[in-house]
Amino acid sequence: MLHAGTFTVSFDVAAGAVPFAVAAVGEAGGTIISIDPAAGTYTVSSTTLAPASARGDFSSSIASLWDYASCNWKTAACQPFPNSQIPPSRIDPYWARATQMLPAPNMAAVGSPNATMQGSDTLSGSHFAVDADNDSQLSSFGGIVQVPYGPFDVGVSSFNLYVDGKLIASKSLPYLLPQRAPANFGPGDF
């Protein structure tokens, strides 16, 4: 499952400020921006998807990709996608749109569907902003996480924004999980 988030942050850096970090994090990774006011620079590291996994190709990942639509709800036995590749016809349009919003990776992680975008830049003045108009590439992050297949209704993704180690904002979002039992099962169905 793709877990992705976007964030915005805007503040003025005080004169004489010491280096600090802005971190927007979630279950599948995040964006960490390390700011050095004295040097007038910042570095960034964001979790994103490897190009192949953004297209549904998980063949180079260490773990098998299971097709939850093939699972037997009584035994929880599932079939893997052939060669750990999701057929194009099964890729949700929302998936394609979400993956296009993530930053382009410039560092791979061997055996993982996730990758990293790292970079650096200079500060322009004392105001720092990450939003749709300022460094929009930095405002998104995401990655693949394993979700359970079982008798669970929902999972919850939590996203947190920290500035200088202090929690500034937090949001938890529920999402539906693939379920083992059909909605109309009865006591004799097991």
Give the pLDDT band of residue 179 (cuts 50, 70, 90).
Answer: low
Tokens of 177: 């999980």
pLDDT for 56 equals 93
- Looking at residue 53, the DSSP 8-state letter turns out to be H
pLDDT for 134 equals 78
Q: Which of 13, 2, 9 is nearest to 41 (CA)?
A: 13
Q: Which of 31, 69, 43, 44 is nearest to 149 (CA)?
A: 69
Q: How many CA atoms lie within 13 A of 14 on its CB side?
A: 6
pLDDT for 186 equals 46
Lowest mean pLDDT across 9-23, 56-70, 139-153: 139-153
- What mean pLDDT comes out for the span 87-93? 90
Distance (Å, whole) CA 83 – CA 104: 24
pLDDT for 189 equals 45
> Whole-prediction pTM value?
0.84
Q: Which of 24, 65, 63 is nearest to 46 (CA)?
A: 24
- What mean pLDDT comes out for the span 155-168? 93
pLDDT for 71 equals 84
Is the model more confident about 1 or about 151? 1
Domain ranges in the chain? 2-189
Distance (Å, whole) CA 130 – CA 7: 8
pLDDT for 180 equals 56
Mean pLDDT (the chain, rounded): 87
Label each residue of 52-103 as H, E or C.
HHHCCECCCCCCCCEEHHHCCCCCCCCEECHHHECCHHHCCHHHHHHHHHCC
Residues 113-150 have pLDDT tens digits of 999 999 999 998 899 999 878 777 789 999 988 777 76
Contact 158, 170 (CB under 8 A): yes
Is the model more confident about 102 or about 68? 102
Task: Quickly count: other Cβ atoms within 10 Å of residue 9's Cβ.
Answer: 20
